[in-house]
Amino acid sequence: MKVSHISNREIEKGSLSCIRYQRRCFQLIKSDFPNFNRDCFISLEELNHYRRLYLSALITQEKGELAVIDTDVVNAIKNNSILSENIQDEMETQLSFGQKVADLVASFGGSWTFIITFFLFILIWIVINIWFLMSKPFDPYPFILLNLILSCLAAIQAPIIMMSQNRQEQKDRIRQNMITRST
């Protein structure tokens, strides 16, 4: 077992860190512990502490002071947490049944699966009415019933996709407000 030069405690094997390649952190540790050298060991927790100090010093040197977002970044690094908020999960829990259906229709309606499926539907419709039902087709050329179905589909699909897009804009506004508040 190795002993930390800083705390004089034994360092667990998975928490051992050599400072040889951390030049700037080395300088910070050296300022606090003058007899510290490149062959000394510290724990990963202690190294991370000095990394945070270096980061804070770097931000302060650049801007003169730590802004709220800079403090949040340093705290996120300290806690190994994610800095961004997941608005998606929060908004998904508040969706009504109609909104969920609108999102499904919008995601399917804007996919290659929909385009290929619908193209095949139209092709099959035409083939059935021209070749298989030659004597008495249920929708003879110029396929007026098919045109009616396509028009109805477009009339229904457009507002559903618009509902989904409006909700996406709402999510974007919330994200923008959060960014504006944190700066």
CA 75 to chain centre: 20
Mean pLDDT (whole number) for 38-58: 80
- pLDDT at residue 149 greater than cutoff 90: yes
pLDDT of amino acid 94: 77
- pLDDT at residue 147 greater than cutoff 60: yes
pLDDT of amino acid 148: 96
Q: Over 61-100, what HEC string results? A: HHHCCCCHHHHHHHHHHHHCCCCCCCHHHHHHCCCCHHHH
pLDDT (tens digit per residue) in 23-42:
777 888 888 888 888 778 88
Q: How many C-beta atoms lie closer than 10 Å to residue 25's C-beta? A: 22
> Taking all residues of the chain, what is their mean pLDDT, rounded to a whole number?
79
pLDDT (tens digit per residue) in 4-21:
888 888 877 766 566 655
Mean pLDDT (whole number) for 119-146: 90
pLDDT (tens digit per residue) in 58-106:
777 766 655 666 666 667 766 666 555 555 666 667 788 888 888 888 8
Q: Is the peptide bond before 142 cis (omega within 30 degrees of 0)?
A: yes
Q: pTM higher than 0.75 for the full model?
A: no
- pLDDT at residue 145 greater than cutoff 80: yes
Range name among 68-77, 129-138, 169-178 with the lowest pLDDT average: 68-77
